[in-house]
Amino acid sequence: MIHSSINLTDTLSLITHEMITRTPDFRGYDINRMLVCCASNRAGSRGGIYGKLVPLKFEDGSDVINFHGRLYTIPKVIHNNIEIKYLIYYYHPKFFDISAREKVNVMFHELYHINPGFNGDIRRMGKFKKAHGHSKKSFEEKYLDYAEEFYSYVKGTPYHAFLEMNSRDLQNNFKKIKCRRMKTIKPVLVEAAQKR
């Protein structure tokens, strides 16, 4: 049976909300201040980038950073009249072509990057290698039990059928595939931001 349409980012947002609700480490997160987006990469391209988190604040949730004597800020992203603190990108088709279990792992990986204080900054794991700390494996070990527990739960929900679909399955099952796309937000000089 072919369905009329599906919105990938809306569906991933609903699953993300379930992850937040069911994971003690994520209970301080606000799904309304997170925006799930899709970005593109080639199916056969090298590398293992399936998703990425873009924080919209600097260290400790600061609006500005001093870099080489110049002040930079990140333009605000407003969605449904709410300021967004984090963008989460999933790459099409690469993310959608991994297994359901791997998709859950990738989603937990990106969520674990969020600062526990939900202040718009990343979870800082070390002085020098801030994002993952001394080892990516050690970083992953911190959320793998949560991901395993969530996957056991999600297998009994309608979301599992979605997670099991690859990019070809999606094309075969839906007449129209929609998703939110947004250019990556980059820091700008404070003076330039004030002139807008």
How much of the chain exceeds pLDDT 70, in percent?
Answer: 86
Nearest to residue 108, comparing CAs of 93, 126, 88, 83?
88
Average pLDDT estimate for 119-129:
76
What pLDDT, on the 0 to 100 scale, is given for residue 130?
62
How much of the chain exceeds pLDDT 90, in percent?
Answer: 77
- Least confident range from 2-16, 108-122, 139-153, 170-184: namely 139-153
- The model's pLDDT over 13-47, given as tens digits with 9 standing for 90+, comes to 999 999 999 999 999 999 999 999 999 986 555 55
Number of compact structural domains in the chain:
1
Residue 116: asked if its preceding bond is cis (omega within 30°), the reply is: no
Strands 3-7 and 174-178: parallel
- The model's pLDDT over 49-100, given as tens digits with 9 standing for 90+, comes to 899 999 999 999 999 999 989 999 999 999 999 999 999 999 999 999 999 9
Tell me how many degrees the CA angle 176-181-185 measures, rounded to the nearest 5.
175
Contact residues for 72 (Cβ-Cβ < 8 A; gap 6+): 64, 65, 66, 187, 188, 189, 190
Question: Per-residue confidence at 146, pLDDT binned at 50, 70, 90?
Answer: very high
What pLDDT, on the 0 to 100 scale, is given for residue 76?
96
Mean per-residue pLDDT over the chain, rounded: 90
What pLDDT, on the 0 to 100 scale, is given for residue 62?
96
Boundaries of domain holding 12: 3-195
